[in-house]
C-alpha cells in the first residue's frame, strides 16, 4: 500500500509539473539569416501576467559545430521554452551562450540550457562575471522572484563561466565579432556581430521604440556604443527589446541619445534644475513620446544626464 501511494503521489506530482509548464502564444523562431534565428517577443510588455517574464529577444545561430545562443531570458521556464524552440529547428547541441549584459532578464534562463548541455561555454563581459560572483546574482534572483512569482519557480543563478574578449570567435565556420563596452547601457555590455550572417545583436544599448532602465549605465557611453554599432556591416539588427529590424533602428536610438543630451544640456546651461526643465525637455522630445515607457523613464533620464554633464564639466 505504501509503495502504491508513493506511485500515485509521484504521478500526481509529475502531472502538476507538466500542467504548470508555461506556454507563450505565437512564439516561434524567426529566421533572419541563412543560419540565424530570433525568438522574438515583439512589442514590449512587462506585465508578468501577460509575458510570464519573457520580453526580450533570444537569438541563436546554427553552426557546423553546434548552436550558439545570444541572450536567454529571466527564468528557468523561459530557458526550457528556448530549448524547445531551438529543437524545432535543429538537433545540434548548444556549444556557446553569449550574454549581452548583467540585467537578469538576459541571463537567468541560462540554467535550463546548461542543465541540458553541461559542457556549454557561457561567455560574458568580465565585469558581469565579477559582479555576479560578488553577490549581485542574489539581487537579480530577488528582483525577478518578486516580479514573476510562481512563474519564477525553480530558477537558479547560473553565472557565465568565460570572460569575453574583444575580437573574433570562430565557431563552426561562422565568425562572431564581439565588442565590449565598459560604460553604455551598463558597465557590462557586449555586442555580437555575426559576420557572415550580417546580423548584429545589440543588447539593450539599442531597443525598438522602448526605453529601458539606464540607472546602471551612461548616456554618453551608450551614444558612443551606438555610433560604433553603425560601423558594423550588418543587414539585420536584433535589439534588446521590441521587434528586430534593419540598421535604421540603431540610427534612431543613437539620435535619441544625442537629442536627450543636447536638450538637457541646453537647459542645464540656462541654470534650470532637473525638475524645472522636465516639461521643456518633454516638449522638445515630443517625437519620442509614444515610445514604450517614455512617461516612466524620462524623469530619471533627465536627472541622470544632468549628473553626467556635471561630472564631464570637471
What cell was used for 219?
A: 548616456
The candidate with the shortest Cα–Cα distance to 115, out of 86, 94, 144, is 94
Q: Quick check: is 3 in a domain? A: no
pTM: 0.91
Q: Quick check: is 308 in a domain? A: no
Cell 534593419 locates to: 246
Which domain, by its residues, includes 102? 23-246
Q: Quick check: is 225 in a domain? A: yes
Q: Quick check: is 181 in a domain? A: yes
* 199-236 pLDDT, tens digit each: 999 999 999 999 999 999 999 999 999 999 999 999 99
Residue ranges in the chain modelled with pLDDT below 50: 1-20
Report the SS3 class of residue 178: strand
What cell was used for 89?
A: 529547428
pLDDT at 45: 59
The number of domains in the chain is 1
Q: Quick check: is 179 in a domain? A: yes
Q: Quick check: is 130 in a domain? A: yes
pLDDT at 14: 36
CB contact at 8 A, 239 and 251? no
Count how many Cα atoms sit within 13 Å of the Cα of residue 203 in the half-sphere of its side chain: 34
Q: Quick check: is 8 in a domain? A: no
* 64-118 pLDDT, tens digit each: 999 999 999 999 999 999 999 999 999 999 999 999 999 999 999 999 999 999 9
pLDDT at 248: 98
Q: Quick check: is 278 in a domain? A: no
Instruction: Return the DSSP state at 149.
Output: G
**What's 215's domain CATH number?**
3.60.15.10
- Residue 157, class by beta-carbon neighbours within 10 Å (0-12 exposed, 13-18 middle, 19+ buried)? middle
Question: In sequence order, what DSSP letters do the residues of 39-89 get, joined into one string?
Answer: E---S----HHHHTT--S--EEEE-SS-EEEE---SSHHHHHHHHHHHHTT
Amino acid at each position: 500500500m505504501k509503495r502504491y501511494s508513493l506511485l500515485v503521489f509521484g504521478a500526481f506530482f509529475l502531472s502538476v509539473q507538466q500542467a504548470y509548464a508555461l506556454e507563450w502564444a505565437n512564439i516561434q523562431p524567426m529566421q533572419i539569416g541563412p543560419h540565424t534565428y530570433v525568438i522574438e517577443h515583439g512589442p514590449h510588455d512587462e506585465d508578468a501576467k501577460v509575458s510570464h517574464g519573457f520580453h526580450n529577444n533570444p537569438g541563436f545561430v546554427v553552426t557546423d559545430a553546434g548552436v550558439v545562443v545570444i541572450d536567454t531570458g529571466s527564468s528557468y521556464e523561459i530557458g526550457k521554452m528556448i530549448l524547445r524552440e531551438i529543437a524545432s529547428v535543429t538537433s545540434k547541441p548548444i556549444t556557446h551562450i553569449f550574454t549581452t549584459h548583467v540585467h537578469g532578464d538576459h541571463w537567468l534562463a541560462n540554467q535550463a540550457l546548461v542543465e541540458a548541455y553541461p559542457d556549454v561555454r557561457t561567455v560574458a563581459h568580465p565585469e558581469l562575471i565579477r559582479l555576479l560572483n560578488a553577490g549581485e546574482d542574489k539581487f537579480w534572483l530577488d528582483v525577478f522572484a518578486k516580479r514573476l512569482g510562481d512563474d519564477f519557480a525553480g530558477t537558479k543563478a547560473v553565472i557565465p563561466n568565460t570572460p569575453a574578449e574583444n575580437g573574433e570567435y570562430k565557431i563552426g565556420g561562422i565568425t562572431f565579432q564581439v565588442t565590449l563596452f565598459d560604460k553604455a547601457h551598463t558597465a557590462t555590455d557586449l555586442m555580437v556581430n555575426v559576420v557572415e550572417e550580417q546580423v548584429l545583436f545589440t543588447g539593450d544599448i539599442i531597443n525598438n521604440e522602448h526605453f529601458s532602465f539606464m540607472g546602471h549605465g551612461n548616456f554618453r557611453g551608450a551614444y558612443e556604443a551606438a555610433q560604433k554599432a553603425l560601423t558594423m556591416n550588418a543587414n539585420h539588427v536584433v535589439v534588446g527589446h521590441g521587434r528586430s529590424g534593419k540598421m535604421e533602428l540603431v540610427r534612431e536610438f543613437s539620435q535619441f541619445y544625442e537629442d536627450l543630451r543636447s536638450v538637457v544640456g541646453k537647459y542645464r546651461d540656462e541654470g534650470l534644475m532637473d525638475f524645472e526643465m522636465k516639461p521643456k525637455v518633454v516638449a522638445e522630445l515630443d517625437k519620442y513620446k509614444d515610445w514604450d515607457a517614455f512617461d516612466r523613464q524620462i524623469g530619471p533620464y533627465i536627472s541622470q544626464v544632468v549628473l553626467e554633464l556635471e561630472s564631464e564639466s570637471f
